Amino acid sequence: MLTIANSHTYHAMTKTSHPLSVNTFRGFFRALCAVLLGCLALNAHAEDSVTIDIIGTGADRIPIIIPVFENESSLPHPVSDIVRADLERSGAFQLVDIGPLPLPESRTPDLAAMKARGAHMALAASVRPSSDGGGRYEIRFRLFDVQKPEREADIGGMMLFMPPAQHRLIAHRIADFIYEKILHIPGCFATRIAYVAKIGARYELQIADSDGVNAQPALRSAEPIISPVWSPDGQRLAYVSFEARKPIVYVHVLATGQRQVLANFKGSNSAPAWAPDGSRLAVVLTKDGLSQLYTINANGSGVRRLTASSGIDTEPAWSPDGQWIYFTSDRSGGPQIYRIAANGGNAERITFEGAYNVTPRPSPDGKKLTFITRNEGRFQLAILDLASRQRIILNPEAARDESPSFAPNSNMILYATENGGKGVLETVSVDGGVKQRLSIQAADVREPAWGPLLK
């Protein structure tokens, strides 16, 4: 009951006098009000608490008003807080606060007043119990472009029926609608992430919503689990488990818990990567000596060697068109990133800057590559524009970044880093502008993988 349900507890604020600071402070009290009302109405749900740490701030973010929904306090779980947190985390929006007053969906809001507050966009939203008597709620919302004349300002809306237990899914879908309507790019808030939590001496492969909330264990083991990766249909994970005293690659169906060994050859089996069509995977095997790339059908048949270098080839990742496999190799001495045609051929070197570049992950739109570079002994998240070959270090102050994973819309990267000796997960917008730490219930987490858009 003491947990602030569904509110954002803002910790580290930006160093600049960004208007966000003031708004966030107000937002906190607004959220607190919502919570207190929620507490009066029903029990607060501790598992819904979420903490978002804003570490940096971005330029060119679209100012948007997401008010408390009309009658939102009648809901067992608030929804608008989740929408706000999603939009803010994306790095594409800046929240403009208007205090605890809702903008009812039934009326066109005072656009001039919204504009005067600096907003470009505003949501008007209302909640009421569903008339069908199923214990559900109706959420109606409309999105306004407040810079347009009144008769053109309404740019779209929806009515959703929400069973109370699905408030998070509904909130993520509202945020997805807003994101897509304004940016013309799919939102991916209603997606899931996988990661490995270390809990005492145990390891858990957990699945959570894209904001790190709603964690559920898919696999518990006394031994390490690494390299989880989603199948393109979002139904399965491939990963490496050490439960049999050596690394073995498994494919795991999430809905049933059914697991199948994908690769258990003599030596080590690791680094699974799904082909975009889901029919086969790239894996790293050592059955013929050092770590090399192979492809294998999703049912474990048809293993075929892809690289034949005299060094290490590992960490494969397919380009979204299925044509290329990016990977890490030490064939030139230290580890660098290369790519090879998915059906074999000569490898082409991609990274030249720095002596240690690992974990290449192409963006789903095929335009960028994220990876980890070592910079004076520090491991930092970097992004490379594949056309211009321009490289940006996204986290110039980081020391232990690892395991980057693109959002399915290519606009954010999820990665692991370290804070106070514990593993934490963070997201960063691809321009490096907004970085947030996901508040995951488990205290020590690593190896994140962002799942696909649900079909």
Partner 1 sequence: MKKLLLPTLLTTVLAACGSDPATTATQVKDNADDSNKIQSVTVQPDKDGRRLSSELNDLSRQGSVYFDYDSFVIRAEARPVINSNARYLSQNRNAKVLIQGNTDERGSHEYNLALGQKRANAVRQALKLLGVRDEQVEAVSLGKEKPRCFEVSESCYAQNRRGDFNYQ
403 binds partner 1 (CB under 8 A): yes
β-pairing, 236-241 with 248-253?
antiparallel
Stretch that binds partner 1, among 89-97, 299-307, 346-354, 446-454 (CB under 8 A): 446-454
Question: Nearer Cβ to partner 1, position 24 or 370?
Answer: 370
221 binds partner 1 (CB under 8 A): yes
242 binds partner 1 (CB under 8 A): yes
410 binds partner 1 (CB under 8 A): no
Residue selected from 126, 231, 307, 328 as contacting partner 1 according to rule CB under 8 A: 328
Rounded to whole angstroms, what are the CA distances from 3 to 36, 43, 273, 445? Answer: 11, 11, 39, 22
92 binds partner 1 (CB under 8 A): no
426 binds partner 1 (CB under 8 A): no
Stretch that binds partner 1, among 69-77, 84-92, 344-352, 371-379 (CB under 8 A): 371-379
Matching residue, tokens 């679209």: 62
Residue selected from 8, 61, 84, 173 as contacting partner 1 according to rule CB under 8 A: 173
CB 400 within 8 A of CB 384: no
Stretch that binds partner 1, among 23-31, 57-65, 156-164, 293-301 (CB under 8 A): 156-164
310 binds partner 1 (CB under 8 A): no
115 binds partner 1 (CB under 8 A): no
Cα-only R_g, the chain: 23
β-pairing, 292-297 with 402-406?
unpaired
82 binds partner 1 (CB under 8 A): no
420 binds partner 1 (CB under 8 A): no
Residue selected from 38, 58, 109, 335 as contacting partner 1 according to rule CB under 8 A: 335
379 binds partner 1 (CB under 8 A): yes
252 binds partner 1 (CB under 8 A): yes
Which helix (H) or strand (E) covers residue 180, if one does? helix 167-183
226 binds partner 1 (CB under 8 A): yes
Residue selected from 154, 385, 431, 444 as contacting partner 1 according to rule CB under 8 A: 154
Rounded to whole angstroms, what are the CA distances from 337 to 203, 272, 317, 353, 398? Answer: 30, 17, 11, 10, 21
Q: How far is the CB of 454 from partner 1 (least distance, A)?
A: 7
* Degrees, nearest 5: CA angle 406-410-413: 35
Binders of partner 1 among residues 2 to 41 (CB under 8 A) are none
170 binds partner 1 (CB under 8 A): yes
417 binds partner 1 (CB under 8 A): no
Residue selected from 227, 295, 370, 409 as contacting partner 1 according to rule CB under 8 A: 227
167 binds partner 1 (CB under 8 A): no
309 binds partner 1 (CB under 8 A): no
Residue selected from 49, 90, 359, 380 as contacting partner 1 according to rule CB under 8 A: 359
Stretch that binds partner 1, among 1-9, 339-347, 435-443, 447-455 (CB under 8 A): 447-455
Which helix (H) or strand (E) covers residue 217, if one does? strand 216-221
Find residue 208's DSSP bridge partners.
193
176 binds partner 1 (CB under 8 A): yes
Total chain residues near partner 1 (CB under 8 A): 79
β-pairing, 378-385 with 368-375?
antiparallel
Q: How far is the CB of 449 from partner 1 (least distance, A)?
A: 12
Residue selected from 50, 190, 337, 414 as contacting partner 1 according to rule CB under 8 A: 190
222 binds partner 1 (CB under 8 A): yes
Stretch that binds partner 1, among 35-43, 70-78, 254-262, 318-326 (CB under 8 A): 254-262
281, HSE (Cβ side, Cα atoms, 13 Å): 29
Closest C-alpha among 304, 244, 245 to residue 279? 304
Question: Nearer Cβ to partner 1, position 54 or 178?
Answer: 178
Closest C-alpha among 81, 57, 61, 60 to residue 69? 81
Q: Kindly report the number of other CB atoms within 10 A of residue 375's CB atom.
A: 18
Q: Mask of contacts with partner 1, 276-305, x by CB under 8 A?
A: --------x-x--xxx--------------
CB 186 within 8 A of CB 173: no
Residue selected from 20, 34, 171, 358 as contacting partner 1 according to rule CB under 8 A: 358
420, HSE (Cβ side, Cα atoms, 13 Å): 2
Q: How far is the CB of 249 from partner 1 (least distance, A)?
A: 12
The phi, psi pair for 234, rounded to 5°, reads 75, 5
Which helix (H) or strand (E) covers residue 95, if one does? strand 93-95
Instruction: Give CA–CA dist 257/204, Å, rounded.
Output: 13
Question: Nearer Cβ to partner 1, position 5 or 254?
Answer: 254
Beta strand residue intervals within 324-401, DSSP E = 324-329, 336-341, 348-349, 357-362, 368-375, 378-385, 391-393
Instruction: Give CA–CA dist 221/313, Å, rounded.
Output: 28
